[in-house]
Amino acid sequence: MLASLAVLLVFQCLGEGLVYVLGLPVPGPVAGMLLLFAALMAFPALQERIEDTANELLRHLSLLFVPAGVGIVAAASSGSGHWLALAAGLIGSTLLTLAVTAVVLRLLGAPGQGDV
């Protein structure tokens, strides 16, 4: 498990480094995930090595949101008085995400689903 966790962390670091060096406008972990995807496509045996660890991380994914939640609570005082803008942004981004997801699923044809 330690070796496969190291593989995942190496890809995250590669993504961070790539974004820093090239000045890309995407988060480093996203670039790392794309690099990991390319590596999994090129070397299918890599999937067998990291699958159990990745599933275990996904099983405990809620724990990874704790630092973000603490950051939100710590920064909440700076948003006081802007509750209307925050609520509008939250609702708007949620609706936009749902709409984009629906369009993408419609375009991809959602295998196994009949046309509605």
Residue 10 counted as domain residue? yes
11 and 48 belong to one structural domain: yes
49 and 14 belong to one structural domain: yes
42 and 96 belong to one structural domain: no
Residue 65 counted as domain residue? no
Burial (CB count <10 Å: 0-12, 13-18, 19+), residue 7: middle
Average pLDDT, the chain: 87
Residue 91 counted as domain residue? yes
Residue 11 reports pLDDT greater than 90: yes
Token pair recorded at residue 74: 């710590």
| Confidence at residue 95, expressed as pLDDT on a 0 to 100 scale | 96
Strands (E), the chain: none
Report the share of the chain in percent with pLDDT over 90.
Answer: 46
Where in the sequence is the domain holding 50, given as residue range(s)? 1-59
Residue 69 counted as domain residue? no
Token pair recorded at residue 35: 């690099």
| Confidence at residue 19, expressed as pLDDT on a 0 to 100 scale | 95
50 and 94 belong to one structural domain: no
4 and 55 belong to one structural domain: yes
pLDDT digit string, tens, across residues 42-89: 999 999 889 999 898 888 888 877 887 787 777 777 767 778 888 899
